[in-house]
Structure 1
Amino acid sequence: MLYLFAILMTNLHLIYHQATSKLDLFPLNNIRAYTTPENLGEAAMNFLSMGFPVMALLSGYQMLVLIACLELAIILIGEIYTWWTPYFFGPRFAMQKNWTELHRRLFSKTIFVLPNRKGNPAPNLEHLILHGLTFASLIACVACYVSW
């Protein structure tokens, strides 16, 4: 049962990210504001990184599933650092120096549900869902790995 749940979560994670990278779902996302290279790079890089856990689980090799768990943990740490550090501590702690401008250009017209924190760039609804799926995929993969 854990195996099927892990397969479901990792696929949902991958599909959600690819859908929000390629489909205009405004105001959930704002892919209209991305340049073509930004959009292609985002979709391609994340297809590979989010697709690996799916392939690892399907392979049945325990070592690949462990690597997938580590990869999902790294993705989640990156999401936290990229989105939550600037939200709580200000844009000077952002991974990218131009995070405030990038955030304004790409996400300012999308849906936000978190309260404003002194004007700090906040994660939008699209990314809140993505972060939840990343976390759920990580937990499901770890549970599957431990159960083997």
Structure 2
Amino acid sequence: MLALALTLILASVAYFLVMTLVDVYPLNNVRDAARAEQRTEVAVNAPVMVLPAVLLGLGAALDVPALGYAAGGLELLAVLGGLLLWWLPYLVGVTVPWATAGTGVTWTELHARTYAQTLMVLPRIGDRPRPNLEHMLLHALMVAAAITTFAAAA
């Protein structure tokens, strides 16, 4: 279970980096994101996404299950943040305060410029921004990583 958890955590980090930095349109729309936005997104999110793998690996190596549980908790918090960022605006019409931190635009504006032309599989709810397939796949990887991390720590 440890190997699976580590693989899922690192796969989600790799997927995040590719989707943030490499143009694979129409799955993402990196071409319409400013380089500064990409750098900020990687600088803020990548360390948080890698830390569960470090904690889980240390917990296993040192035989300290608490580190594994901390890893699972951090992975769960990271995916919860992503789910709130994407699903609250879509389902409830509420944007989280950190959605566009440092960009100077609203979530609706940022979404329209960088995500609205990507693959969407969910039906429209009025004019609310929809989660795109790219982020739905990332969130699925992260949920699986959180579940397996807790199982590996147990």
Give the TM-score normalised by the residue count of structure 2: 0.87
Structure 1, unaligned runs of 5 or more: none
How far apart are residue 62 of structure 1 and its match? 2.4
% identical aligned pairs: 31
The aligned residue for residue 42 of structure 2 is: 43
Question: In structure 2, the residue corresponding to 1:100 is in which secondary structure?
Answer: helix
Query: CA separation in 1, counterparts of 2:108 and 2:56?
Result: 37
How far apart are residue 44 of structure 1 and its match? 2.1
Query: CA separation in 2, counterparts of 1:87 and 1:104?
Result: 13
How far apart are residue 42 of structure 1 and its match? 0.8
Structure 2, unaligned runs of 5 or more: 101-105
1:14-73 deviation digits (Å, cap 9, x = unpaired): 111111111111111111121122100111222201111111222224232222111111
1:89-134 deviation digits (Å, cap 9, x = unpaired): 12xx101481111110110110001111112111001000011011
Query: CA separation in 2, counterparts of 1:27 and 1:109?
Result: 7
Which has a greater percent of helix?
1
- Tell me which amino acid in the other structure corresponds to 2:70: I
Instruction: Count the aligned residue pairs.
Output: 143
Give the CA RMSD over aligned residues. Answer: 1.4
Give the TM-score normalised by the residue count of structure 1: 0.90
**Structure 1 segments of 4+ aligned residues over 4 angstroms from their partners:** none
Question: In structure 2, the residue corresponding to 1:18 is in which secondary structure?
Answer: helix
- Tell me which amino acid in the other structure corresponds to 2:95: A
